[in-house]
Structure 1
Amino acid sequence: MVTIYDIAAKANVSAMTVSRVINNTGKISEKTRVKVKRVMEEMNYVPNQTARSLVLQQTKLLFLLITDIMNPFYTTLSRGAEDAAKKNGYRLLFGNSDESIEKEADYITTILTARVDGVLVAPAGDPSLPHLETLRKHNVPFVLLDREVPGIECDIVLGDSKEGARQLVSHLVAAGHRHIAMVNGSPSVSSARLRLQGYQEGLKLSDLRYNADYLFETSFGPVNDLTDMEQWFRQLNPRPTAIVAGNNVLAVETLRMLRGRGIRVPDDLSLVCFDDLGPYSEAEPFLTVAAQQAYQFGYMGMQMLVERIQEKETARLPWKKIVLPAELIIRRSVQQLNE
């Protein structure tokens, strides 16, 4: 294995000079720098990243912790984050909490052990606060994505959940629907709370009464057992003519539940959701959605994180909050009742 001492001997310089060339530190003439790099290439030298990180106090590693890697929103978000990390010279590690506070806690331990330079995190929910406080205690910069956590101030990239949900309800009302239910995520998740508020606001603006019986709350992740959702739907009276799903995963689970009962969308019941179904939705356009800018979530969040890491002075500046609007995309999942 080639070492810096081998490079130094062949280039006729000190090992310290080779180290400075590798880490781009200290004052070295351009002629010497070029000579050392040429020798490194000739000898196929690969720098020891662990040793280099000790010198620079940086690992050039970042961590992306999301809640559901199977969700097309987070898949596209991850691509944006990875592209921005690579552009800035960082490598990216991934973690998937599955909406679990316990699993998220394990990843926080991994993050601290790996000594990454920063973390981009979509928190599992409000109970994530101690995990974020742990990162701050250990001086690990982080940026939140998609969800706020009460009690912590930090940089964050959010979608306009309230307005997006309101648009979905308004679209249904314009199509003649008056009995509109909602299948939503847990109230311990900020985006679920905002989407519920948008749903309620959309009803109010259309002079429709909010009926708490028309709300079913569960996890934003996959629903392994549809029994509770089926029981909720079965007792609704009158039966809704449309359902707003809080995200794309819940839209698919709702569709499964309806098909299991022989209910067709949109012939028998209309269905809309927050978040699109990813790049394959255009191949078979079906669901009307409030689509978020998933790629921009990841890309912009990563840019903010890199800025916090690289510019020490930014720690004294106000925290940044970016809110990205959702786009209403109308497809075939809503039946026109007022024609």
Structure 2
Amino acid sequence: MVTIYDIANKANVSAMTVSRVINNTGRVSDKTRAKVKKVMQELNYVPNQMARSLVLQQSKTLFLLITDITNPFYTTLSRGAEDAARKHGYNLLFGNSDENLSKESEYINTILSTRVDGVLLAPAGDPSAAHLERLLERNVPFVLIDREVPGIQSDIVQGDSKEASKKLMEHLLSYGHRNIALVNGSSSISSARDRLQGYNEMLKLHDLSANERYIFETSFGPFKDQSGLMAWLDQLHPFPTAFLAGNNVLAMELLHALRSRGLQVPEDVSVVCFDDFGMYSDLDPFITVAAQQAYQFGYLGMQLLIERITDREEAGPQKKIILPAEIIVRRSVKKLA
């Protein structure tokens, strides 16, 4: 196995100089640095990351914890996070909570036991506060994405869910729809609450009464409530002329449920939703969406995290970045007479 002493002998420098080049510490001339790196390549030297982390008090490893990797929004977000991490020389570990608090807690245990430098995470919901408190107690930097957690002060990158919900509702209302139902995520999730608020505010603005029976609350994550969705549809009277889905996963499940009832979109009923469909958006999409900047969620969130890690004393107060969504009008909404 090649050691730093082998490199030092071949490069005709001290072992301390080789260590400084590997760990990017101390003063080393550009010429010497280039010579040492050339010898490292020639000898196929791979630094011992554990030893390096002890020297630097950093593992150069970050953790990304999201709620549903099958959702194209989080797939694209993950790519943005990875690109930002690699740009700054960090490796990225990954976890998927499925919006399950027990699974999220297990990942927090893993994070605390693996000496990662920081965490970028989409919390499962408000009860995630207990898990985040554990990170704070152990002084592990973290940044939230997509969702706030009451009582937790941290950097965050999130979408303007209320405003995007209002714009989707305005589109439906402008097409003559008045009986509009909402298929949404759990009220324990801040983004779901914001989308519900936008929905209700637009009904009130147009002098329409809110109908609690027109709201179906379920999970944003891997969908397991098809029977519940079908039962809810069966009790709706009058049947809505349009639906707003809280994300793309719910939109797809809603489409399946409507089609099983013999209803076509937009001929029989209209549908709009949050989040586009990733790479599949180029394959003749037809659903009108509030497309969030998924890649920027991950990239900017990782940038904030790395700032916290590299300059904890000077990073300043927590930052909140709110990214607007783009309303992409397609052909899933029928204009009523």
Q: What is the alpha-carbon distance in structure 2 between the residues aligned to residue 109 and residue 234 of structure 1?
A: 43
Moved more, 4-13 or 165-174: 4-13
State whether residues 175 and 337 of structure 1, in contact with CA within 8 Å, keep that contact through their aligned partners in structure 2: yes
Q: What is the alpha-carbon distance in structure 2 between the residues aligned to residue 165 and residue 175 of structure 1?
A: 16
State whether residues 155 and 320 of structure 2, in contact with CA within 8 Å, keep that contact through their aligned partners in structure 1: yes
Q: What is the alpha-carbon distance in structure 2 between the residues aligned to residue 324 and residue 124 of structure 1?
A: 20
Paired letter, 2:3: T
Aligned position for 1:232: 232
Paired letter, 2:330: R
Aligned position for 1:5: 5
Paired letter, 1:331: R
Unaligned runs of 5+ in 2: none
Moved more, 154-163 or 42-51: 42-51
Question: Secondary structure in 2 aligned to 1:312?
Answer: coil
Q: What is the alpha-carbon distance in structure 2 between the residues aligned to residue 42 and residue 221 of structure 1?
A: 48
After superposition, the C-alpha distances for 1:273-305 in whole angstroms (9 at most, x for unaligned) are 111111212311210111111111111111111
RMSD: 1.4
Moved more, 6-15 or 325-334: 6-15
State whether residues 222 and 253 of structure 1, in contact with CA within 8 Å, keep that contact through their aligned partners in structure 2: no
After superposition, the C-alpha distances for 1:15-62 in whole angstroms (9 at most, x for unaligned) are 333212211223345554444333323222111111111101111111
Q: What is the alpha-carbon distance in structure 1 between the residues aligned to residue 102 and residue 157 of structure 2?
A: 24
Which residues in structure 2 correspond to 1:1-339 (within 5 Å)? Answer: 1-315=1-315, 317-338=316-337
**Identical pairs, percent:** 70
Question: Secondary structure in 1 aligned to 2:149?
Answer: coil
State whether residues 122 and 145 of structure 1, in contact with CA within 8 Å, keep that contact through their aligned partners in structure 2: yes
Question: Secondary structure in 2 aligned to 1:313?
Answer: coil
Unaligned runs of 5+ in 1: none
Q: What is the alpha-carbon distance in structure 2 between the residues aligned to residue 30 and residue 277 of structure 1?
A: 47
Q: What is the alpha-carbon distance in structure 2 between the residues aligned to residue 31 and residue 86 of structure 1?
A: 25
Question: Secondary structure in 2 aligned to 1:207?
Answer: coil
Q: What is the alpha-carbon distance in structure 2 between the residues aligned to residue 36 and residue 224 of structure 1?
A: 56
Question: Secondary structure in 2 aligned to 1:224?
Answer: coil
Please state how far the C-alpha of 1:204 moved relative to its aligned partner: 1.0
After superposition, the C-alpha distances for 1:291-335 in whole angstroms (9 at most, x for unaligned) are 1111111111111111111112235x2110011111111111111
Aligned length: 337
State whether residues 248 and 275 of structure 1, in contact with CA within 8 Å, keep that contact through their aligned partners in structure 2: yes
